[in-house]
Structure 1
Amino acid sequence: MSDHDNAGRILNLEEKVAYLERHVTAQDKVMLELSDLLARVRAELKMLRERAGESGANGGAGRDEGGELRDERPPHY
């Protein structure tokens, strides 16, 4: 192989490495965004579970003091 061929191959490899480095950087950014989103979703889920637990302890919506379902019509009637 000539020096020109080797230089072309090296240039091609350098371009591929540069592309892969940009791709990895972009993936890292997306992974951080997804990690933040997951943390927010987990916090919201925890809050909703706590809220559901509180309403369950208080009889919940549509229940009387004994925890039994009330006999009432749905709001769309």
Structure 2
Amino acid sequence: MAEDQIARLEERIAWLEKHITEQDKVMLAQADELTKLREAVLAIRERISSRESPLDPNERPPHY
């Protein structure tokens, strides 16, 4: 009976090790995706800020 318990524990340990490895892969992929998303957000912010006019909104255009 002790051998059966040891075998079950070994199976559980093997399953947990596999599960941990799979979780590590998923977490690394998510970290990469998060990095790319942060870079995209920064690029979008830069584009938006470069479009903002530094002129006074009440100032008349030069053709007036």
- Asked if TM exceeds 0.5, the reply is yes
Give me the whole-angstrom Cα distance separating, in 1, the residues matched to 2:28 and 2:19.
14
Q: Structure 2 CA distance, aligned partners of 1:48 and 1:37?
A: 16
Higher-helix-fraction structure: 2
| Among candidates 24, 49, 54, match of residue 45 of structure 2 | 49
Structure 1 runs (4+) deviating above 6 angstroms are: none
Name 2:6's counterpart in structure 1. Answer: 10
In 2, Cα distance between the equivalents of 1:6 and 1:24?
Answer: 27
Residue 36 (structure 2) pairs with residue 36 (structure 1): no
Q: CA offset at residue 55 of structure 1?
A: 0.5
* 2:15 counterpart of 1:22: no
Q: Which has the higher contact order (CA 8 A, sep 6+)?
A: 1
Q: Structure 2: give runs of 5+ residues left out of the alignment.
A: 59-64
CA RMSD of aligned residues (A): 1.5
Alpha-carbon distance between aligned partners in 1 of 2:23 and 2:53, rounded to the nearest angstrom = 44
TM-score under structure 1 normalisation? 0.69
Identity %: 36
